[in-house]
Amino acid sequence: MSARLSARALTAGVLAIAMSVAGMHAIAQAPTASQATPAVQPPTPATPAYMMPMLPDAKAMAARSNQSPTLSGIPTSPIATAIEKLPLEKMVLPPGFKVETFVSGVAGARMIYLGPKGTLFVSTSRLGRIYAVKDPFGKKEVMTIAQGLTLPNGIAMKDGALIVVANSKVFRYDAIEDTLDKPVQTDISEKFRLPGDQMHGWRYIAFGPDSKLYIAAGAYCNVCELNPGINGNIRRYDADGSNMEIVARGVRNTVGFDWHPATQELWFTDNGRDWAGNEGPEDELNRIAKGKDGAFYGFPYCHANGMPDPDIKRPDPCVGVTLPVALLGPHGAAIGLKFYTGSMFPAKYRNVAFIARHGSWNREIKFGYDIVTATIEGGKAKVEPFLSGLIDKEKNVGLVRPVAFLQLQDGSLLFSDELNGAIYRISYSDASLRK
Amino acid sequence: MTFLVTQLRRFRVPALWLGISLLLSGPVVAQSVAERIQLCQACHGQDGNSLIPNIPSLAGQPEFFLLNQLVLIREGVRPIAAMQEVVKGLKDADIQAIAAHFAGLPAKAGDEKTDPALVTQGAELAPGLECISCHKPDLTGQQQMPRLARQRLDYLIMALKSFRDGTRSGADPLMVGAVLGRSDAELIALAHYAASK
C-alpha cells in the first residue's frame, strides 16, 4: 500500500468501522464527516431467575478477608520462554531424581496426553490452542492443530480420536494422529449440555476405568450459592455424551483427578475459595469412596476440614459434607493429580499421588509453584514436598506453574508448566547415590 | 482490505462502496509494522487515544495487555469482526512491536463528560469488587489487566456489560466473576468512576 493511498484508506477504515459498530442492528445511513453516529448497544439477554447467582456482599467479604487489596491474577504469556531461560537449575528434587526439559515452545501448556501412535498432545486454557508434538522423543516438532477455542483445557483420546472439551463445547477429531496437518473437527457438544460460564470454565477431563468420560464443571464464582445439578460438580458420560451422572457435588473447582490403581476409587483435588484470608481455606485432596457416588463436598458452605464459609451461611454448614482426606495448603492452587504406577522410581512411590500446585495469586506471600506427593495408607494421606525451589522469595513470584502429569512407558514422569510454556521430564537413577 | 469492502456492502451503501473499492483495489502486500500501526491509528486515534464511540484507547495500556489481546484477537479466541483483517498474518514479533508502541504513548483525557454523582457512586462500589486489586489503585492497569483510567466511557460501559452477560468471547474469567450479577446502573457508575481517574 502506497503512502498516499494509505492516508485515504485510513479515512475509509474509520468510516467503515464506525459504521460497523453503529450498524449492528440497523442499516446504517451513509455517514458524513461531521456526523457522529450514536452507537446502538446490543440488547442485554434476559437472565432467567433461576440462573441469577446468589452473591455474598462483596464489600463486606473484601473487608473481612484482611488481605492486601493489591493481590491480582497471574498472567499466562502467549509467548513461550526460550529454552535456555527455563529455570531448570532452580528445581530441587529428592536424591537420585533428575529433571530435564522435554519440550519447549508450547506457550500456555496445560494438559498433556500421549497418543497411541506417539504424538504428544498439549492443551492450553485462555490461549485457546491445542498443540501436537510430532516425534516427541526425537525431533520434537511442535505444531498448532487447533486455535481460537474457548478455554480448551480438557483433552483425552478414545479409539484414535482426540476429544477436546472447551468450556461448553466438546469436539472430536477422528484419527487425529493420521490427520495432524488437516484435523477434522466434529462438534459433539449438544448431548453433553455443559455450562458455558467462563470462571472455572477450563475443564479437566479423563476417561475412567469404566470407559466413561469424566468432566469437571466448577463453580462460576469465587464463592456463591449455585445449582449443584449444573455447577460445582464432577460428572461422567458415555463417550458420546449420553447417560450423564453426577459423581461429586459441592466441588468448587477440580482441575485434576485420577483413579487409585489398587482401589479404582476416584481421587480429586479441589481449590479453596479466595478472599477469606491468606491462610485458607486450604485446598483439598478428596476421595469418592466406593458406593458414595454423588457425595457432597461442601462448597459453598463448608471448606477444608470443616470451616464454615464466612459469607455464605446455612445452619449446620458441615453436616452431610464429605471432608477431605488431606489438606494441600493455603492458596497453593493444587490442580494436577496422577497416581504413579511405574517401576523407574523407588518402590515407595508406587501408587503415590503426584500433585501439581499451580501456585496462587490470592495470597500475600506466594505459596505452591511446586509438586508434592500424597502417600495413601488406610484411608489417610501423608503430603510431602517433591519438587520445590521455584518461588523467588525476594520478588515474591513463582518461576514455574505446574499443571498436569503424564507417566511415560519407561516410568519417567512428565509435567507441564503453563507459565513458561514447557514440559519437563523427571527421571530416577540410583547410580549417583551408589558412588 | 476486502473486509472493509464487505462491511460497506453489508450496510448497503453502494456509492460509497464503489468509491472505496476503487481506492483499495491495489494489491494487498505484506505490511510493515509501521503500516500496521497506521491502520490501528485509523480507529484508535493518531496518538492512541480514541475519539470514536465504543473504540477503546490504546495509549498507555500495559504492554503485556496489548500483546496478549492482539494474540487472542489474531487467533479468534476474542473474535472482533472489525479487527480480523488488521491482525491477519501478524507475527509474534510484530505484535510485540505494536504493543510496545502504544504502551509508550501517554493516555489523555477524552471528549466525554463523566457525571460526578455517578463517579462517587462508582468509587463506593469499587472496593467491594476488588477492581483496584488487579487494575491498581490509580486504575492504570498492569500485566494482562488493562488501564481503565482515561478510557472511553462508552467503551467501558459496553465492555463491563459484555463481561457480565457472557457475550465477550475470550474474556478473562476473573473479570467475569468480578461483575457477575451486577445491575446496569452499577456498571455505568463503575465506568464513570474508572473513566474519571
For chain B, which domains are there?
Answer: 1-29 (no CATH), 31-108 (1.10.760.10), 116-196 (1.10.760.10)
CATH number, residue A405:
2.120.10.30
Q: Do A39 and B173 touch (CB under 8 A)?
A: no
Give mean pLDDT, residues B42-59.
96
Q: Is residue A4 part of a domain?
A: yes
How far is it, in rounded angstroms, from Cα A87 to Cα A83?
A: 9
Show residues of chain A in contact with B111, CB under 8 Å.
none
Show residues of chain A in contact with B28, CB under 8 Å.
1
How much is the pLDDT for A58? 64
Nearest to B171 among A12, A70, A198 (CB): A198
- Count how many domains chain A has: 2
How much is the pLDDT for A54? 57
User: Is A357:A368 a contact under the CB 8 Å cutoff?
Assistant: yes
pLDDT higher than 90, residue B12: no
Residues A363 and A227 in one domain: yes
pLDDT (tens, 9 = 90+) of chain A, 435 residues, equals: 344 444 444 444 444 444 343 333 333 333 333 333 333 333 344 444 445 555 666 667 767 778 887 788 888 999 999 999 999 999 999 999 999 999 999 999 999 999 999 999 999 999 999 999 999 999 999 999 999 999 999 999 999 999 999 999 999 999 999 999 999 999 999 999 999 988 899 999 999 999 999 999 999 989 999 998 999 999 999 999 999 999 999 999 999 999 999 999 999 999 999 989 999 899 999 999 999 999 999 999 999 999 999 989 999 999 999 999 999 999 999 999 999 999 999 999 999 999 999 998 899 999 999 999 999 998 899 999 999 999 999 999 999 999 999 999 999 999 999 999 999 999 999 887 776
User: Is B115:B36 a contact under the CB 8 Å cutoff?
Assistant: no
Q: Does B64 touch chain A (CB under 8 A)?
A: yes
Q: Do A41 and B158 touch (CB under 8 A)?
A: yes
Q: Is residue A64 part of a domain?
A: no
Residues A15 and A126 in one domain: no
Residues A31 and A97 in one domain: no
The residue behind cell 504492554 is: B63
Residues A18 and A153 in one domain: no
pLDDT tens-digit series, residues B67-121: 999 999 999 999 999 999 889 999 999 999 999 999 999 999 888 999 999 999 9
How much is the pLDDT for B128? 79
pLDDT tens-digit series, residues A28-55: 333 333 333 333 333 344 444 445 555 6
The residue behind cell 457508575 is: B189
Residues A96 and A32 in one domain: no
Residues A87 and A31 in one domain: no
pLDDT band at B17 (very low <50, low <70, confident <90, very high): very low
Q: Is residue A266 part of a domain?
A: yes
Q: Using CA atoms in the order A339, A343, A347, A353, what is the torsion angle rounded to 10 degrees?
A: -10
Could you give the angle at which helices A3-22 and B14-23 cross, rounded to 10 degrees?
150
How much is the pLDDT for B166? 86
Residues A95 and A154 in one domain: yes
Q: Does B4 touch chain A (CB under 8 A)?
A: yes
Residues A101 and A3 in one domain: no
- What region does A396 belong to: left with phi over 0, alpha with psi -120 to 50, or beta? left
Residues A230 and A361 in one domain: yes
Q: Do A72 and B142 touch (CB under 8 A)?
A: yes
Kindly report the backbone phi and psi dihedral angles of residue A354, in degrees, each rounded to the nearest multiple of 5, phi listed first. -90, 130
Q: Is residue A61 part of a domain?
A: no
Residues A275 and A160 in one domain: yes
How much is the pLDDT for A435? 61
Residues A100 and A223 in one domain: yes
Q: Do B39 and A10 touch (CB under 8 A)?
A: yes
Q: Do A27 and B166 touch (CB under 8 A)?
A: no
Q: Does A71 touch chain B (CB under 8 A)?
A: yes
Q: Please give the ipTM for the structure prediction.
A: 0.76
Residue A28 domain boundaries: 1-41
Residues A160 and A255 in one domain: yes
- The pTM of the full predicted model, rounded to 2 decimals, is 0.84
- Omega prior to A281 cis, within 30 of 0: yes
